[in-house]
Structure 1
Amino acid sequence: MKRDELDLLPGQSEELLKELHILTREGRINQDSRRKLKQVHHLYRFIEKLLRELPDEGNGATLADHGAGKSYLGFILYDLFLKQKTGGRIYGIETRAELVQRSAELAARLGFDRMSFVNISAADASEAKDLPERIDVVTALHACDTATDDAIAFGLRKHARFMVLVPCCQAEIAASLRQNKALSLSRTPLAELWRHPIHTRELGSQLTNVLRCLYMEAKGYQITVTELVGWEHSMKNELILARFTGQPKRSAAERLRAVLAEFGLQSLEASRFPL
């Protein structure tokens, strides 16, 4: 297949995509891989613009990718952006040891010497000695459930200039809504929004991201929420971009507490949204 038929970006390595099993050895691509590549390319375009805002146009940029999995995003970022730079480093954070080892071996084979892989959870990464005190960009692509919250906590701890998040499988708040359903139904007619299980799941997902955005605003970030790709490619499609301004919003903190109180979720403030 020709490059334009594969939807590759200028300068993108076909050999890397073969190593990642996005392309076959014959240079072909199936629909599932094409969909996956389209998502990563969209995310890359957002991140590249942010990297170029850093000093020296991102030449010394540090990026931590939470829930890295097979590190598609990290490898493609390195190939398209960092490979041409003289500095900077990408850290892949992943709990599955076999994926960490496989990614490290691939980076060594490709000569991507400014990629590091850490076998640790997002929750524990803030204290990891293998990671620097400051990280410029924190990413989390489909990090499941509370791993996105852990990535946000990591970004705050590391004074990240930018956070790029595509949340997935938010279950914690839905579970809290179910637990307090009887009390909520007697207290407010709004509880009808989560009386049925499917509504609980969907509202829990929506509410989780609303609270995350308010929390980051309260911590001094400007928030943009948009779509990653079209809904035909992924149902987990919400992209949250956070840019540090250094101006915490008291009004966002007040609204966060008000929303938690309205939905009977005050217990989550200490664990998930410490203000």
Structure 2
Amino acid sequence: MKHKPESQAKRVAVKTEQENAVQEKHEIRPGQSLELLKELHILTRDGKMNQDSRRKLKQVYHLYQFIEPLLQQVRASHGSVSVVDHGAGKSYLGFILYDLFFKALNDGGASRIYGIETRDELVQKSRELAQKLEFPGMSFLNLSVADSTSSSALPDQIDIVTALHACNTATDDAIEFALKKKAKFMVLVPCCQAEVAAELRKGKGEVLKNNPMSEMWRHPIHTREFGSQITNVLRCLQLEAHGYQVRVTELVGWEHSMKNELIIAEYKAQPLKRAAERLNQVLTSTGLESLSSRFFTP
């Protein structure tokens, strides 16, 4: 008895499923824990990915490409590696870093990732997941970025500090933390720079009379946009004044976020006097002198 041929629709469905399986297999890095991806809800329980989870994975992997060379450089310098991730949230980045890099180090626990997060429920969930996956080199602390600077739960020196979409002044607190901890590298994706825009609005009347460049933030929508832009300019000048070499690029891969600026800073022990002078000039010319304590220089 002859079997009836498969319907065209069924053949297409089978082919599509096979193609998706191949695509997902190639999207996941070799050695990546599938159990971790399931726990982070990047993979479903049956190992599938939807469009949203595929985007999340692409985002974290893309950022990992920037951070992995920094991890390797630190390890080559002194063996162990310490990372503090500020505003960790669900610790997607921390877990991926640990899974792809830290768990293979076998350095007796000398290397460690610290996740700093203010929401206690997320801290507890991250602790439970690290224990479940047997990731002993991960610690999670229920602290604000500002409070972490003086916390005894963290070592005196940290190699790499990350702050991804830490809102408003939390990015500046992360920079202050990194400066105090003598970080070799900083990886920052700033977000929601509202403080500077608010200060621009306060002094707008007086500055508008004396500075023709203030036309760049005369209208409210421009105030918000210019405030965001000038905040990151001030941060870069501050880092250079403290001896960091700064690279600013677009974080390609975070297509669904308007906050797409990536700042990578490497300590070179060569403070730039001109950067400090420029920073103070920018503060003065924009009427932002009140923020000099936040964008402090050596």
Q: TM-score, normalised by structure 2?
A: 0.89
**Helix, strand or coil at the partner of 2:149:** helix
Shift of 1:160: 0.3
Alignment of 1:5 with 2:24, yes or no, is yes
Judging changes above 3 Å, is the alpha-carbon distance between structure 1 residues 90 and 176 closer, same or farther for their aligned structure 2 residues?
Answer: same
Are the aligned partners of 1:64 and 1:135 in contact in 2 as well (CA < 8 Å)?
A: yes
Instruction: Identify which of 89, 110, 113 aligns with 2:136.
Output: 113
**Helix, strand or coil at the partner of 1:33:** helix
Judging changes above 3 Å, is the alpha-carbon distance between structure 1 residues 187 and 62 closer, same or farther for their aligned structure 2 residues?
Answer: same
Could you say what the CA RMSD is over the residues aligned between the two structures, in angstroms?
1.5
- Of the structure 1 ranges 186-195 and 75-84, higher mean CA displacement relative to structure 2 is found in 186-195
Computing the radius of gyration from Cα coordinates, the structure with the larger value is 2
Which whole-Å deviations, capped at 9, do the CAs of 1:165-222 have from their partners, x for residues lacking one? 0111111100100111111222212121111111111111110000000000000000
5+ unaligned residues in a row in structure 1: which ranges?
none
In structure 1, what is the equivalent of residue 185 of structure 2? 162
Alignment of 1:257 with 2:247, yes or no, is no
Are the aligned partners of 2:161 and 2:186 in contact in 1 as well (CA < 8 Å)?
A: yes
Are the aligned partners of 2:58 and 2:253 in contact in 1 as well (CA < 8 Å)?
A: no
In structure 2, what is the equivalent of residue 26 of structure 1? 46
Instruction: Identify which of 39, 46, 52 aligns with 2:72.
Output: 52
Amino acid at match of 1:189: P
5+ unaligned residues in a row in structure 2: which ranges?
1-19
In structure 2, what is the equivalent of residue 191 of structure 1? 214
Amino acid at match of 2:54: R
Judging changes above 3 Å, is the alpha-carbon distance between structure 1 residues 3 and 79 closer, same or farther for their aligned structure 2 residues?
Answer: farther
Judging changes above 3 Å, is the alpha-carbon distance between structure 1 residues 25 and 244 closer, same or farther for their aligned structure 2 residues?
Answer: same
**Helix, strand or coil at the partner of 2:293:** helix
Alignment of 1:80 with 2:103, yes or no, is no
Are the aligned partners of 2:161 and 2:187 in contact in 1 as well (CA < 8 Å)?
A: yes
Which whole-Å deviations, capped at 9, do the CAs of 1:9-56 have from their partners, x for residues lacking one? 121111101101111112222222222221211111111001111143
Are the aligned partners of 1:59 and 1:82 in contact in 2 as well (CA < 8 Å)?
A: no
CA distance in 2, matches of 1:210, 1:34: 32
**Helix, strand or coil at the partner of 2:146:** coil
CA distance in 2, matches of 1:58, 1:46: 20
Alignment of 1:40 with 2:48, yes or no, is no
Which whole-Å deviations, capped at 9, do the CAs of 1:221-242 have from their partners, x for residues lacking one? 0000011115633211100000
Paired residues, number: 275
Alignment of 1:99 with 2:122, yes or no, is yes
In structure 2, what is the equivalent of residue 222 of structure 1? 245
In structure 1, what is the equivalent of residue 14 of structure 2? none
In structure 1, what is the equivalent of residue 12 of structure 2? none
Q: TM-score, normalised by structure 1?
A: 0.96
CA distance in 1, matches of 2:148, 2:225: 29
